[in-house]
Structure 1
């Protein structure tokens, strides 16, 4: 998937803003690709498994972040008052 991301960015640089990188693989080629894309992955676990194993670990993290964001109350909803520092 990372090589496909590189191709997509080369074809349309604006798509870079929509890419998430699940993990930093241990392979030198993967690290170089992330550097080229100036990408900071969500996880760096030293995985050498391939087959999308890093993505499989990152998906629950992204889902949880979305749930937390969507379920978070606003200051008004939580009755938080502005106070001087």
Structure 2
């Protein structure tokens, strides 16, 4: 909850300019909460484009696993209802 307040207070100055780790945490929270309209898209794209091919492969693999797990959870919820 505190992190949300920090994000709101510091919204004028992008968090990636102040604290990269905090910016990453906030970006992850916003993605998890599907608050895409609040994402710092420009800097997020810059960070994604800057990662190495090996890191991109790892990222793609991890994202695929997360999406697959979420898909299973959604299917599980549909079956239970």
TM-score after normalising by structure 1: 0.31
TM-score after normalising by structure 2: 0.32
Going by fraction, where is helix more abundant, 1 or 2? 2
Higher relative contact order (CA 8 A, sep 6+): 1
Q: Whose Rg is larger?
A: 1
